[in-house]
Each structure stands twice: as structure tokens, then as C-alpha cells.
Amino acid sequence: MENYYQPDMECAPYEQMRALQGERLAENVRHAYTIPYYKDLLDRNGVNPNDIRSVEDLGKLPFITKDDLKIAYPYGLLGVPLSEAVRIQSTSGTTGRRVVAFYTQADLDLWDECCARAIMAAGGTKDDVVQVSYGYGLFTGGPGLNGGSHKVGSLTLPMSSGNTERQIQFMIDLHSTILCCTPSYAAYLAESIEEAGLMDKISLKAGIFGAEAWSDEMRRDIEAKLHIKAYNIYGLTEISGPGVSSECSEQTGMHINEDHFLAEIIDPETGRQLPYGERGELVLSCITKKAFPLIRYRTRDICVLTRDKCSCGRTLVKMSRLMGRTDDMLIIRGVNVFPSQIETVIINCGFEANYQIIVDRVNYYDTLDVHIEMTPEMFSDEVRSVEAKEKMVVDRLRSMLGLTAKVTLVAPKSITRSEGKAVRIIDRRKI
């Protein structure tokens, strides 16, 4: 089998990258056409796989969506004989629908290489101790970063999430230098280390955080608390897992491993391709993966792509921090609201990212309740000062969203902490 991994592609000139992408796309479209479900999809859309020769032809191909994955579950999109597949992973089911993805050994190796790039971009070397506190098992977070850390040659601590006391013990005893977990768990770990008075015993220098939405404000907060540099990492099970893209030291967006995943931004309403710099839905095409070769997969994730020169020397296209996902955008009284907007207001008002958004419908009228934990210092404040803080959040939310919310400050630690992805939105209208 061809070896698809070429480390120098991270800094390849644009033309060289485009040529390689074109070749790989053409090959993988022909490969996908061997899957009856895909053949039917292309035939229905009048696409002859032999007409796809370069990246410019991408727009001729139909999209594939999560609904297709549901219909084809479990084996309908398998691209190799079952005997060639060596692993499955499954989505965490944030939006209720499970997806199963397959990998050959070569697919797993490529995925590991992508995660290794993320660790190296965060300054990781074989001398580092990488504490992987993402969940292991069906969720892609743990296995992905675990494989990446092995490829780098770092000492890998396969902690999985949870058991916070043990996490901190190992972090201290084994001198972990790089922490990989969800940002909400990183914030929780930081809080717990602080409370135990152990911060001076921690040797962390970097964190690789992703799998859920987080704001730049939350990043600065975690960085200041843990005395680290925090890097964003993005991925999704359907396309492989974490490591589809990850940040470099510039921290101005995540470089997409576009020698393996072709990225486009489309208008989610019309499906039209949008130019660099415009915000829309990210569409990804796998051009090297064989067991689950999704092409033009609609991620539902909203972001912006840019191809500006990066000071790190990588030429890979960059995607911005996610601005939400089309399926977690809330429509409240007709207004589009992304939870990330609410988080930005909360952190700018001096709170931490411990909050819950509750949407309900009373007498045909949508209600928006935001519960925010006070910090321990605020907790001893007078009632009047608590009320003033609540009013400040209400005012700022109104000017950001054009909506009036009910804001309640709650006692420190009263919102359940998550060890995996945080549950921050409760939409009772759907229940």
C-alpha cells in the first residue's frame, strides 16, 4: 500500500499541495465508488467518478450528511472488506445520534501521525510526558492523542478522564509536561489543583484541548491558572477523530492537515462554496482514508478558513475557533443564538466557564435562563452586589444577542462538573 504520510507536506508550497490533493481526491472518489451506497449517491447525482481529476472538480460531487450515516449504519459505508478493518470508534452522541466509523491499520497510522503533528506543534518531543485525560474507549479523544504521543516518542500516560485525585497525583509524580483533555476538564483540574494547594508541584508547559466549544477568554483563563500555553485541537469521529486540525504557537487558528482532509466552507442554507474569510459550515473530504472514506461530509460546524502566511512556517490552511454547530445553534424567540456568545459574555463579566443555559417554552413564549456559578470570593458578597452582577450579565447579553435573559448566580460548585464533554445547554422545548 502507498505510504501517504509525508511529514514535509506541513510546509509544502501551495501548488504542490493542490496537485497532491487533486491526485488523492481523484483516487479516493474512485475508491468510494466501489461502495454500493456511494455508487448510488454519485449515480443519482449524475457524477462519473472519472470526471473528478483535481480539487477544482470538488464542487461537482454531492454532499454526504449525518443522515446518510444513519441510513447506512452500520456497514453501508465501509470501504474495505471487513477483514481489512481493525477498529471502530463511535461519536460521543452530543447531538443524540450515534455514528460508527471504521479504520484499517493504515488509517489508524495516519490518524496517529495527525495527532503527532498536534503534539509537536505544541512543542512536544520524545522527552515529554503526555498525560492523556480524554476519555478512552469508543470516544476518539483518548485513542487519538494516545497514538499521536506514541509516534512522537513521548512517555504516554493513558489516564482517560475522571478520578481527578489520581490525575493530579500522576501529574505530580511523573512530571507530566503536556495535558490533553477537554477544556472544561482542564478548567476543573486547574480548580482542583489550586484548592489542594499543589500548583507549585505541577510541571505542565502545554495543554492540547478540544472536542467541545471553548472561547478565547476561557483559554486565557486556563493558561493563567496552569501556567501553560493552551492549544486548540479539532476533529470528529466521522473524519477520523482529533487531529483533523490543530494549533501552532501563533494560536490564531488550527492548521488543517489538508494533505489528508480537504476543507471547504459552504453556505449552510444553499450549499454554495464560500471564499476564504467567510463564515459558514465546514465540509471535509477524506482523501487518504480507506475504511470510511467520506467525501464532502457536512460537519455542521461553523467556522472561517484562512490561508494567510503563518509565522510557524506551516503552509496548511487554517480554520478559526468554532463559532458553533448548526445543530447546537439555538433559535430563541426567532433569534439565532450560539452558546459560545453567551460564554464570552460570562467570562468577560469576571466569571469562570461554569454555567448552564436552560431554554424552555412557557405559553408559546421562549424563555432563556442562564445559571452561572459565583467564584468563592463573590459568594461572600452582599446580596445587593450579587444582584448588581446579575444585572450586568443581563445587560451585556441583551446588547450581544438582542434578547432578555434571566440570569441567576448560583453557589460555587453547584453545577455538576463534567469529565468528558460539558453539558451546558438544556433545551426543554425538545423534551
- Interacting residues with ligand ADP (CB under 6 A): 91-95, 140, 210-213, 232-237, 299, 301, 322, 325
Nearer to ligand ADP, 42 or 184 (CB): 184
Q: Which residues bind Zn ion (CB under 5 A)?
A: 248, 250, 310, 312, 314
Nearer to Zn ion, 88 or 312 (CB): 312
Other Cβ atoms less than 10 A from the Cβ of 262: the count is 22
Q: Which of the listed partners (ligand ADP, Zn ion, none) does 93 bind, with a CB threshold of 5 to 8 Å by partner kind?
A: ligand ADP
Strands of the sheet containing 129-132, edge to edge, are 155-158, 129-132, 178-181, 206-210, 229-236, 241-247, 254-256, 318-319, 297-306, 279-286, 261-266
Q: Which of the listed partners (ligand ADP, Zn ion, none) does 91 bind, with a CB threshold of 5 to 8 Å by partner kind?
A: ligand ADP
Q: Which of the listed partners (Zn ion, ligand ADP, none) does 248 bind, with a CB threshold of 5 to 8 Å by partner kind?
A: Zn ion
Minimum distance, C-beta of residue 298 to ligand ADP, in the bound complex (Å): 10
Minimum distance, C-beta of residue 428 to ligand ADP, in the bound complex (Å): 21
Q: Which of the listed partners (Zn ion, ligand ADP, none) does 312 bind, with a CB threshold of 5 to 8 Å by partner kind?
A: Zn ion
Element (H, E) at 37: helix 36-44
Nearer to ligand ADP, 259 or 301 (CB): 301
Minimum distance, C-beta of residue 319 to Zn ion, in the bound complex (Å): 12
Minimum distance, C-beta of residue 89 to ligand ADP, in the bound complex (Å): 8
Torsion of CA 183, 188, 192, 193, to 10 degrees: 10
For residue 60, give Cα distances in angstroms to 45, 47, 186, 274. Answer: 9, 7, 42, 15
Strands 155-158 and 129-132: parallel
Nearer to Zn ion, 253 or 324 (CB): 253
For residue 305, give Cα distances in angstroms to 146, 171, 263. Answer: 28, 36, 8
Nearer to ligand ADP, 21 or 91 (CB): 91
Q: Which three cell numbers stand for residue 411?
A: 453557589
Residues pairing with 27 in the sheet? none
CB 244 within 8 Å of CB 118: no
> Which amino acid appears at position 169 of this protein?
Q
Cis peptide before 74, with omega less than 30 degrees from 0?
Answer: yes
Q: Which of the listed partners (Zn ion, ligand ADP, none) does 228 bind, with a CB threshold of 5 to 8 Å by partner kind?
A: none
DSSP, res 382? -
Minimum distance, C-beta of residue 340 to ligand ADP, in the bound complex (Å): 8
Minimum distance, C-beta of residue 51 to Zn ion, in the bound complex (Å): 35
DSSP, res 322? P
Which of 368, 381, 255 lies closest to 310, judged by CA? 255
Nearer to ligand ADP, 92 or 146 (CB): 92
Minimum distance, C-beta of residue 303 to ligand ADP, in the bound complex (Å): 9
Nearer to ligand ADP, 52 or 213 (CB): 213
